Amino acid sequence: MLKIHNSLSGAKEEFKPIKAGEARMYVCGITVYDHIHLGHARMLCAFDLIQRYLRSSGLKVTYVRNITDIDDNIIERAAANGEEWSALARRFTDAMREDCAALGLDAPDLEPRATEYIDEIVVMIKTLIEKGYAYAAGNGDVMYSVRRFADYGRLSGKKIDDLRAGARVQIEDAKHDPLDFVLWKSAKPGEPSWASPWGAGRPGWHIECSAMSTSLLGCHFDLHGGWMDLKFPHHENEIAQSCAACGTPFVNVWMHNGFVRINDEKMSKSLGNFFTVRDVLRTLRDPEVLRYFLISSHYRGPINYSEAQLAQADETLLGLYRALEGASAGGRVDAAALHEFKRVMDDDFNTPEALAVLQGVARELNSAKAAKRAAAAADAAATMRAIGRMLGLLQQDPGAYLKRGAGEPQLADEHIDALVEARTAARAAKNFAEGDRIRAELAAAGILIDDKPGGVTQWRRA
């Protein structure tokens, strides 16, 4: 029996599909204005693993993960680059897909882009206005009237009165209530826009997910996921919009994954400990090391990223491939190990325990090899491959994997020093784009840099 922690109830609940044998799942995807970072990678790996496991449990899964291809960040970044917003969004969509492929992620069944759903968004906003949940504000925006939705705050455990007490009223706002949020933003001069009954504009972020999820999965579906910070306000607002527009329940199970911390600190650009997936992958023997690391913690808890942790994941994965090396193919999967794997995964996708099961099988394989029990070794190898497939691990040829080095230094020390100095100068001149470019160049050569307090930058080979 599969149990999943539901953020709505705060408890693990038996998963009961709305339609027997099916699981319909929507995950909030990436806003494509930059390369994806470690936080994104964790979210992507967590829900990839969940959809894999649901499928391997025999459910017919429809996995939808959207792409936000229009928002303020995209418009601002494109303007700064002198690039068309749509070209920037396409470029980073392609880059995201490359990174996802490197991490061994299955492509979602459906990957809608917000700008493909403008008609559905407009229809949903019209419905919300007709039902009295939304209003056209004086400034051309359309707002959702939070006080009209009695259940507001149920997912995040927030109370409307507390939220209102903390909300700042801005004079320029055309809101009836400081908690109201935007459904349709009227276009400023020069901004990309679409026609609507309320004038030219573009959708707010929250409404796009409600429109895309209900268009593709129906008004009421099984699972909705995203990282923890989306619980409020994004997911709270999705519930308010979808339930009000559809007049039905929306999502049965809400799932949220935890943070990535870097050396026990919050990851942020301002702290200089911000890593894109590309930065990290260039330093690794194989992208599978990052995947192993990311799933080695339970998806709901925090995960701490450090060089030491990554080196440990590399070592462990090497050990698993060493075990597989030389074992002959054609073995039978061990039902007891598979049963144990299913038991721990059925407990809210407990991947740390699942990896422990995998390591137990690897130990059996090593003993069988040492005792020259070829048939037992082949069975253990088949079991490792079968469990690995469900986790997105261990599907490579062991010989080829083991030959791969951990990455050689490509730049001389003097050259690295010069690049680090050039980056410091660029940042001092507030040319952060050039600073980021140099950082990326260094990362491409396997050099990681670390900005220390007091303006000192240290570098090291990954």
Chain residues binding Zn ion by CB under 5 A are 28, 209
Q: Cα–Cα distance between 21 and 222 in angstroms, integer?
A: 12
Closest C-alpha among 36, 94, 29 to residue 63: 29
Closer residue to Zn ion (CB): 210 or 283: 210
Residue type, 405: G
Q: Cα–Cα distance between 367 and 61 in angstroms, integer?
A: 38
- Minimum distance between the CB of residue 236 and Zn ion, rounded to whole angstroms? 11
Closer residue to Zn ion (CB): 224 or 369: 224
- Minimum distance between the CB of residue 148 and Zn ion, rounded to whole angstroms? 21
Instruction: Provide the 10 A C-beta neighbour count for residue 417.
Output: 12
- Minimum distance between the CB of residue 223 and Zn ion, rounded to whole angstroms? 13
Closer residue to Zn ion (CB): 251 or 361: 251
Closest C-alpha among 23, 33, 30 to residue 57: 23
- Minimum distance between the CB of residue 121 and Zn ion, rounded to whole angstroms? 13
Closer residue to Zn ion (CB): 209 or 357: 209
Longest dimension (CA), the chain: 80
- Minimum distance between the CB of residue 278 and Zn ion, rounded to whole angstroms? 24
- Minimum distance between the CB of residue 209 and Zn ion, rounded to whole angstroms? 3
Q: Cα–Cα distance between 169 and 166 in angstroms, integer?
A: 10
- Minimum distance between the CB of residue 22 and Zn ion, rounded to whole angstroms? 22
Residue type, 349: F
Closer residue to Zn ion (CB): 37 or 427: 37
- Minimum distance between the CB of residue 208 and Zn ion, rounded to whole angstroms? 7
- Minimum distance between the CB of residue 234 and Zn ion, rounded to whole angstroms? 6
Query: Any idea what DSSP says for residue 40?
Result: H
Closer residue to Zn ion (CB): 76 or 229: 229
Four-point Cα dihedral 70, 72, 74, 77, nearest 10:
160
Closer residue to Zn ion (CB): 209 or 449: 209
Closer residue to Zn ion (CB): 95 or 209: 209
- How would you classify the pairing of strands 260-262 and 303-305? parallel
Contact 296, 350 (CB under 8 A): no
Residue 287 exposed, middle or buried by CB count within 10 Å (0-12, 13-18, 19+): middle
Closer residue to Zn ion (CB): 224 or 298: 224
Residue 192 exposed, middle or buried by CB count within 10 Å (0-12, 13-18, 19+): middle
Q: Cα–Cα distance between 349 and 300 in angstroms, integer?
A: 10
Q: Cα–Cα distance between 421 and 424 in angstroms, integer?
A: 5
Give the rounded distance of the alpha carbon of 63 from its chain centre: 14
- Minimum distance between the CB of residue 366 and Zn ion, rounded to whole angstroms? 45
DSSP class per residue in 365-416: HHHHHHTT-HHHHHHHHHHHHHHHHHHT-S-S-HHHHHH--S----S-HHHH
Closer residue to Zn ion (CB): 234 or 343: 234
